[in-house]
Amino acid sequence: MSIVHGDPSMQVVVRTDPSGAKVIVDGKELGLSPVTFHDPSGSQKTFTIEVRKEGYEPVIRVITRQWDSMRLTYRLDPVYFYSLTPFPEEKETVVASRRGGERQALRETPRRTSDVDEIPQSRKLDKSRDAVALVIGISKYRDEAIPQVRYAKRDAEIMAAYLESISGIARSRIKVLTDEGATHSDLSAYVEEWLPRRVSKDTTVFVYYAGHGTPNPATGKAFLLPYDGHPDFQNKLYPLDRLYENLERLPAKEVVVMLDSCFSGASGRSVLPSGARPVGIAIENPVLASGKLAILAAATGTQISSDYDKEQHGLFTYYVLKGLRGEADSDKSGTVEVDELFQYVRNGVISIASEELNRDQTPLLQPPLERIGGRGKIQITVAGR
């Protein structure tokens, strides 16, 4: 017996401050806030709310229905409220001219929504794609001494929406873990239990991680930092080797991993154990030499994975999203494949990191292009009508 999720008799309200924002639920525009709609029944436990208003930052949230033990179904909360954050107001800065003459006023215009924040229109497919995705974004950590990763949660939420809309993955087969929902036990459970239960020999698996990485300077090993983790305590970290090895063991057709993190400890999206200095870390693993995994990483083991404040995303994630929109489709086939995406992202990140951020950042593909073989042709987006 299958459980039908949702309670059509229940009304759901989306409110915003200020009101008058455009409300979009699962790609369907419902009107301006406050908006009331009936909880649609169906097979999906999750759905996406987008809230947009001119002059304010967009809000994109993946919502999970909660279990109602009285009605024996998963249902929505009755009210969802979002306080919108305005873009910075225009500022005027007075500076002296080089010749010492009259002072000039320079205007700083407010930042507009990034070009990747608009979720692409969903592809219409003849049948659902056999694919599953685990998407993780950790901006805030339980230990407040650990620096925040400003855009990681937002990166993950928008990445999940892209994977649904243009990668053809059913919403029920995308799991999003953010902040306090991405503890060490959560990462272990979803990588090692949730994924294997949803994978067959024909399944394509996607794993995306945005957040801190950390090195063990003594062993040269790299780790993901869960919400409740700390770089001083190795048993509270999730080893990158463990991630690769668990994904390789999946009975899947192919696995694509995208890591917007770094592991050198040289700031950026990386932290160090107490008293340690930045080190060079090898983020590859022998299991990658032969198998089903293709890894796209934001930077080499000695570099920083940068935030891109201009677009309010991680720099690597910004170019991944931009590439998935079609910019990386170099052969104009209507789909974006791993090798196409990597080359597009690599060129964009290297250029912006050097010219605008004054640093080196070189995304990596593992195995490298010359050895990746058929894995380079894994389709990340799908063609549709």
Note the pLDDT of residue 384. Answer: 65
Instruction: Specify the range with the lowest mean pLDDT, choosing from 37-41, 96-100, 300-304.
Output: 96-100
pLDDT of residue 19: 87
Class for the domain spanning 1-111: mainly beta
Q: Which of 341, 5, 318 is nearest to 150 (CA)?
A: 318
C-alpha 297/C-alpha 262 separation (Å) is 8
Number of other residues whose CB lies within 10 A of the CB of residue 326: 14
pLDDT digits (tens, 9 = 90+) for 210-249: 999 988 878 878 899 999 999 899 999 999 999 999 999 9
Over residues 124-129, mean pLDDT: 75
What is residue 333's predicted lDDT score, i.e. its pLDDT?
A: 94
Three-state DSSP string of 204-258:
EEEEEEECCEEEECCCCEEEECCCCCCCCCHHHCEEHHHHHHHHHHCCCCEEEEE
Amino acid at 39: D
3-state SS of 71-127 is CCEEECCCEEEEECCECCCCEEEEEECCCCCCEEEEEECCCCCCCCCCCCCCCCCCC
Q: Model-level pTM?
A: 0.74
**What local confidence, expressed as pLDDT, does residue 244 receive?**
94
- pLDDT band with cut points at 50, 70 and 90 for residue 285: low
Nearest to 205 by CA among 134, 125, 156: 134
- Element counts in the chain: helices (H) and strands (E): 6, 22
Lowest mean pLDDT among 287-296, 315-324, 339-348, 357-366: 287-296
Say which range, 138-142, 267-271, 378-382, has the weakest mean pLDDT: 267-271
pLDDT confidence of 2, banded at 50, 70, 90? very low
**Inter-residue contact 57 to 114 (CB < 8 Å):** no
Is pLDDT above 60 for 6?
Answer: no
Q: Given a cut of 60, is residue 383 above it in pLDDT?
A: yes
- The CA-atom distances, in angstroms, between 380 and each of 17, 337, 377 are 37, 5, 9
pLDDT digits (tens, 9 = 90+) for 288-311: 656 899 999 998 877 888 999 999
Every domain of the chain and the residues it spans: 1-111, 131-377
- What is the predicted pLDDT for the residue at 45? 58
Quote the mean pLDDT of the chain.
82
CA 73 to chain centre: 29
In angstroms, what CA-CA distances link 256 with 54, 297, 365?
Answer: 36, 11, 11
Residue 112 has pLDDT above 70, yes or no: no
CATH 3.40.50.1460 assigned to 131-377? yes
pLDDT score of 319 more than 80: yes
pLDDT at residue 58, rounded to an integer: 78
Tokens linked to 24: 């979009």
What is the H or E stretch that residue 259 is in? strand 254-260
Contact 232, 174 (CB under 8 A): no
- Give 272's contacts (C-beta < 8 A, 6+ positions apart): 214, 215, 217, 231, 265, 278
Please report which residue ranges of 265-361 form alpha helices under DSSP H: 315-322, 338-355
- How far is Cα 381 from Cα 66, in angstroms, rounded to an integer? 30
Structure confidence at residue 385 as a pLDDT band (50, 70, 90): low
- pLDDT at residue 104 tops 90: no
Name the one residue in this structure whose structure tokens are 């597009």.
Answer: 344
Check pLDDT > 80 for residue 314: yes
Position 9 pLDDT exceeds 80: no
User: Which residues on adjacent β-strands are paired with residue 134?
Assistant: 175, 207
Question: Region 368-384: what's the mean pLDDT?
Answer: 90
The more confidently predicted of residues 263 and 188 is 188
**73-90 tens-digit pLDDT:** 656 667 778 888 776 554
Q: Say if residues 94 and 136 touch (Cβ distance below 8 Å).
A: no
Contact 338, 345 (CB under 8 A): no
Q: 35 or 321, which is more confident? A: 321
Side-by-side strand order, sheet with 22-25 = 28-32, 22-25, 46-52, 59-64
With bands split at pLDDT 50, 70 and 90, how would you rate the model's confidence at 107? very low
Enter the tokens of residue 59.
Answer: 């809000």
What pLDDT sits at residue 111?
Answer: 47
Region 31-39 average pLDDT: 84
Give the tens place of pLDDT for each residue, 48-77: 788 888 878 778 777 766 665 665 565 666
Work out the average pLDDT over 312-338. Answer: 95
